[in-house]
Amino acid sequence: MIGEPVALTIRRNFERPAAQLLRAYRGAPTGFVTDAHNGQGCLDYRIKPIDPSMTVCGPALTCYCSPTDNLAAMAALDFAKKGDVIVIAARNDQTAAVIGDRWAMWAKKVGVAGIVCDGLVRDIVGLLQVGIPVFARGLAPNSGFKHGPGEINTRVSCGGIAVDPGDIVVGDRDGVVVVPRADAGTVAARLAEVRKKEVALDAAVRRASSMQFWNEAETRARGGVRYLD
């Protein structure tokens, strides 16, 4: 590297999905969203809500934090708009927490809809009192530094998934799913079909006296079935 790295690289403005498009995702289980998105978009399974009842849906405001550093996360609050989900890419760092309860308190005050972090957070009692949805890999009391380098509203890798600012983030007890903004309209249309099919399947299971969850004839045709008794 020649010279010192830039402490913060910031994109101040980005396109967010329309409110009508976001409404198509609100209340949708993450399993429905991944089904509509061809089984894609799920972040690392270890990223879960700090309270199982927490859910989140909104456009991603992204930030990248170097390991043991949280400068970008601290600065991101200055650029958040009401309804944003702050997605913090921390390289899965398990050394220090990226955010705590006072940061979350201010995030809620400025209208942030939730936080997704592939690293650690801290101050669990305070975070639960604040009540803003927080999804993270885990908890640790260590705090980070504020030196950088970091980035705000660039493409990041969070929990193994590429996330751009403006992508749609949906989270619930099962985990977090990200839908690229460019695909969000197509996925929303499929999501409506998934919802209908799930309702029909639930009704079918309740009515049925027996049910088979695999196609024996099709499996025989593909490669055969061997019974041992």
- The mean of the pLDDT values for the chain is 95
Portion of the chain with pLDDT greater than 70, in percent: 100
H/E segment holding residue 72: helix 71-76
| pLDDT band, very low/low/confident/very high, at 183 (cuts 50, 70, 90) | very high
- Give me the pLDDT at residue 219, please: 87
| pLDDT band, very low/low/confident/very high, at 213 (cuts 50, 70, 90) | confident
The total number of residues shown for the chain amounts to: 229
Task: Return the minimum-mean-pLDDT range out of 26-40, 43-57, 211-225.
Answer: 211-225
Strands 56-65, 150-152: pairing kind: antiparallel
In this prediction, residues 36-55 reach a mean pLDDT of 97
Residue 15 above 90 pLDDT?
yes
Structure tokens at 9: 């690289």
Give pLDDT tens digits for 72-101. Answer: 999 999 999 999 999 999 999 999 999 999
Portion of the chain with pLDDT greater than 90, in percent: 85
H/E segment holding residue 171: strand 168-172
Structural domains present in the chain: 8-195 (3.50.30.40)
Give the number of other Cβ atoms within 10 Å of residue 26's Cβ: 10
Contact 160, 175 (CB under 8 A): no
